[in-house]
Chains A and B, each alone.
Chain A
Amino acid sequence: MNILLNFLRTFLCLSSCVVGPDDAAEPTRTGKTKNHRVWGKFSWPTSFLVLGATTLWAPSLRAEEPKQLNMLYVGVESNIDSVRDGAKRYEEKTGVHINIDSYPQTEWRERMFTEIAAKSPHYDVWIVDVPEGALVANHSVNLLDFILNPKVVDPKLISPETFIPRLMVQSTYDPKHPWNPPMELQMPSYTWQAPITMETFGKMKKDGLGFYGIPFHPNVLVMAYRKDYFNNPDYKAAFKAKYGYDLIPPEDWKQFVDVCSFFTKSINPNSPTEYGCTLMAKKHESLYCDWRTWLASFGVFEIGTDMVPSFNSEKGVQATQFYKDLMDKYKVVPQAAKTWTWDEVTTAFGSGLTAIAMNYHRMLLDPAIEQKGGQAGFAMVPGERQADGSVRRAPHYGTYYLSLNKYANHQEPAYKFIEWLSSPDVQLTFAKYQFHSSRRDYYQDPAVLSKWPEYWKPFEESLEIGNSRPRLTVFRQYSETIQAEVSSALGGNKTVKQALDDPACEVIDLFKQAGYYDALHVDPYVKQPQCKH
């Protein structure tokens, strides 16, 4: 098929070369154009021979020197401004034009999967969000083929040691079973723990793993708080008098409840805010991400390496119950949060409704509030205090990574482009766009830190310890199953225990249909006997 297309393209190209604008316009005495005479001199078989030879030769030529690369990108969510800037500079440097098609998240997904379904070679580069990773892996190029090729790779550009280690595992999959193991921390530890070096890639190859994208734009849950209130001497004194310790951004869940109660007007009439904190608890991906932050901080892995769900364990029930209690028992979160996603949480915090909120970007206060002295501070999200006094935090995170289309023709030039675009020096130049970098160095750079010193520190620290979504080919169904059931529990339609037991069985059915248990020879009902029909 590709040969045929190449043939047609070359044919059209040659036609346009032969039919020059001057020739075509000049009629002859017989009424035919000069072009017809030119064609008349060639016999058709000779033409086809020439065309055939050119066609066979053309792909290799194009693979080396494309004039343009096509890129599919997500708009606002992964900072399109920085990529447009980078693409422009890459064209100045190499002469290769980068054509970027940018869509909002939902449309980007639909577009990418339409392209994949058609095995279209149109896009050379596409950005992938982690939840889609397992589904896209086998349609993407295994970058190890380039990274381990000394003639192609530029170690200074790829610079593996500067990556935040956990981001590297996000695009690392077993090509035979991209969905197993489901959680990134179940992968071999060398894929997500420092030091990540060029040898790490060699080890991946040896172990039969594939590396399907270069981590590019991560997001992680960070807590924002009203710094002006936390620094207010009157509030500090009142808090200490009531709870017996200093008013600081909460580190564990107990402190979180205390601080949120202190800033909730119905509990403390002197509170400057209506509510202490807020959540994103609408039946939406945001609820799933919130829920799993709580769950992981209680030490629960959602799914085992045998693909059997474990979120309905005792600890899982405790974590979910605590999440619900913040709204219904402690009443430190507005009930309206059950209809909110990340957008409304931004509004709630920005408008001064709450003293604390968590989100995946730097939230700002309304200018009117800032003019009155309002200030936002940032810290890592709290976690569960352990017996040894440490805190187990597990903020939800994910990263977009730059990946190459397996069906495209310009794979090597496309690799060179993403290697350059994601390189430490180039990422540093994106600081002016408030780019979220995948490199550690970025967050140490004085120029970057001078912009948002308080935000980048907890952001980078959170990325270092974050926990990411399961890597499933049926991820969206899995996530929506959880969303619907947890939403039922929050709405009081089910008990928390029931709302976790039911989806555990639904998830087993889902994984069964997806062929996971057959492939691993696992009987899921041994661990979840109540799900056996």
Chain B
Amino acid sequence: MSVVTTTVDVTRRVRREPLEWRPLLLSLPAIAILLVMVLYPTIFAVWTALHQYNPMLPDMDRFIGLGNFEHAFGDRIFLDTVLRTAVFVVVAVTVEFVLGLGLAIVVFYLIAHGSTLVRLALTIPMIMPPIAIGLVWRWLFDGQFGLINYAMKLIGLPPQIWLGNTTTAMGAVIMVEVWQWMPFVFLCLYAGLASLPSEPIQAARVDGAGPFQLLWYVVLPMLKPIILVVLLFRIIDCMRVFDIVYVLTEGGPSNGTVVYPFLIYMQGFRYFNVGYAAALSWILVVFVSILAGTLIRMLLKSSAAVAKAGGGE
């Protein structure tokens, strides 16, 4: 009975409070911008994905339901591109991670002086514009005038047409991606190493752990949440690689370096198949959301485990 009375009282109190319009009014511009910039494009993207829509050919515009998605999953170019993008992401992220982690450990534990210089030097590729990077590397990889082939000739190796063969061209794109973004992995993991508590490491040393045991059983488990964050960033970033491919190879030779975002670009901006491009974008959104969700769940679990092991909060 008393519970009921309390509820009634609370309701009455709430009703008595005058509605404050000012905060609502002040936030209206932001809400309006949000609606215009996010909600409308999202609804439009759904609408276009369900239409055969080419703004240049308005007569052919018609509702086709899931036709664009059906077309994608039956299209050889789409399937090849998905596979190629998966290879690109797996190889690039793996190499970036292995090199970045290795370098972070070496610089953090072994280089007592000059680590600031190394960190600064490694930041340079990240702050360079991707278009400039692509142009410079395109020249470096040139089969006739390139510096790489020149160096190979000097040491007696036969020159290669790096960007003229599907395998080496994809290798070249991956290499440039790694060159630019491995420093990001390095910096994040370096910061992670610097933030680790020293007690567990000292305790492991006292217990007689060697360097590799220390790394494998103590340092890496404690670093796991940061590793997952780094992987999350890098995987999502690699899945939307575009500029390097655009400048370096334009998707060639053959279609050997056409990755998923480049395919969307070609469909949307070169062929104006906006409906199909929207469908491809939605497929990417769904896939990345699932992947990111899985990684975030893993991240939360590992953070909880680290906190529990450390007796933290």
Show the binding face of A for B, using Cβ within 8 Å.
110, 113, 116-117, 135-136, 139, 282-284, 334-336, 338-339, 344, 347-348, 351, 353, 473-474, 476-477, 480, 483-485, 487-488, 490-491, 493, 514-515
| Chain B minimum-CB-distance residue to A341 | B250
**Structural contact, B143 and A113, CB atoms closer than 8 A:** no
Show the binding face of B for A, using Cβ within 8 Å.
55-57, 60, 141-145, 161-166, 249-255, 266, 269-272
**Structural contact, B252 and A282, CB atoms closer than 8 A:** yes
**Structural contact, A282 and B250, CB atoms closer than 8 A:** yes
Given contacts A283-B251, A476-B271, contact A491 B166 (CB under 8 A): yes
Q: In the complex, what residues of A have CB within 8 A of residue B253's CB?
A: 282-283, 338-339, 487-488, 490-491
Q: In the complex, what residues of A have CB within 8 A of residue B251's CB?
A: 283, 484
Number of residue pairs A-B, CB distance < 8 angstroms: 85
- Within the complex, the shortest CB–CB distance from A143 to chain B, in Å, comes to 20
**Structural contact, A339 and B163, CB atoms closer than 8 A:** yes
Q: In the complex, what residues of B have CB within 8 A of residue A490's CB?
A: 253
Q: In the complex, what residues of B have CB within 8 A of residue A493's CB?
A: 166, 254
Report the 8 A-B pairs with minimum CB-CB distance, sorted nearest first.
Answer: A283-B252, A336-B143, A117-B55, A338-B164, A336-B144, A488-B254, A339-B163, A339-B164
In the bound complex, CA of A291 to CA of B273 (Å) = 26
In the bound complex, CA of A477 to CA of B166 (Å) = 21
**Structural contact, B250 and A336, CB atoms closer than 8 A:** no
A–B Cβ pairs within 8 angstroms, 30 of them: A110-B269, A113-B272, A116-B55, A135-B56, A283-B249, A283-B251, A283-B252, A283-B253, A283-B254, A283-B255, A284-B252, A336-B143, A336-B164, A338-B164, A338-B253, A339-B141, A339-B164, A344-B142, A348-B144, A473-B56, A476-B270, A477-B271, A480-B270, A484-B251, A485-B254, A487-B252, A491-B164, A491-B165, A514-B60, A515-B60
**Structural contact, B270 and A491, CB atoms closer than 8 A:** no
**Structural contact, A113 and B161, CB atoms closer than 8 A:** no
Known: A335-B161, A336-B145. 14 other contacts (CB 8 A): A110-B269, A136-B56, A282-B250, A336-B144, A336-B161, A336-B164, A338-B161, A339-B162, A339-B164, A339-B253, A344-B142, A484-B251, A488-B254, A493-B254
**Structural contact, B254 and A113, CB atoms closer than 8 A:** no
In the bound complex, CA of A116 to CA of B57 (Å) = 10
Q: In the complex, what residues of A have CB within 8 A of residue B143's CB?
A: 334-336, 338-339
- Choose one: A117, A338, A477, A484; the contact of B56 (CB below 8 Å): A117
**Structural contact, B142 and A484, CB atoms closer than 8 A:** no
**Structural contact, A473 and B57, CB atoms closer than 8 A:** yes
**Structural contact, A335 and B164, CB atoms closer than 8 A:** yes
In the bound complex, CA of A2 to CA of B166 (Å) = 52
In the bound complex, CA of A474 to CA of B52 (Å) = 14
| Chain A minimum-CB-distance residue to B258 | A484
**Structural contact, B55 and A484, CB atoms closer than 8 A:** no
- Within the complex, the shortest CB–CB distance from B129 to chain A, in Å, comes to 16
- Within the complex, the shortest CB–CB distance from B22 to chain A, in Å, comes to 27
Q: In the complex, what residues of A have CB within 8 A of residue B57's CB?
A: 135, 473
Q: In the complex, what residues of A have CB within 8 A of residue B250's CB?
A: 282-284
Q: In the complex, what residues of B have CB within 8 A of residue A483's CB?
A: 252
Q: In the complex, what residues of A have CB within 8 A of residue B161's CB?
A: 335-336, 338-339
Q: In the complex, what residues of B have CB within 8 A of residue A480's CB?
A: 266, 270
**Structural contact, B166 and A336, CB atoms closer than 8 A:** no
Q: In the complex, what residues of A have CB within 8 A of residue B142's CB?
A: 336, 339, 344
Q: In the complex, what residues of B have CB within 8 A of residue A136's CB?
A: 56
In the bound complex, CA of A513 to CA of B270 (Å) = 17
In the bound complex, CA of A53 to CA of B271 (Å) = 44
In the bound complex, CA of A491 to CA of B270 (Å) = 24
In the bound complex, CA of A491 to CA of B250 (Å) = 16
Q: In the complex, what residues of B have CB within 8 A of residue A351's CB?
A: 145
Most buried by A among B55, B251, B254: B254
Q: In the complex, what residues of B have CB within 8 A of residue A485's CB?
A: 254
| Chain B minimum-CB-distance residue to A353 | B144
- Within the complex, the shortest CB–CB distance from B244 to chain A, in Å, comes to 15
In the bound complex, CA of A116 to CA of B141 (Å) = 39
| Chain A minimum-CB-distance residue to B146 | A336
In the bound complex, CA of A470 to CA of B136 (Å) = 35
Given contacts A283-B253, A474-B271, contact A113 B144 (CB under 8 A): no
In the bound complex, CA of A136 to CA of B55 (Å) = 11
| Chain B minimum-CB-distance residue to A509 | B75
**Structural contact, A113 and B252, CB atoms closer than 8 A:** no
- Within the complex, the shortest CB–CB distance from A202 to chain B, in Å, comes to 29
In the bound complex, CA of A503 to CA of B29 (Å) = 52
| Chain B minimum-CB-distance residue to A477 | B271
In the bound complex, CA of A139 to CA of B145 (Å) = 45
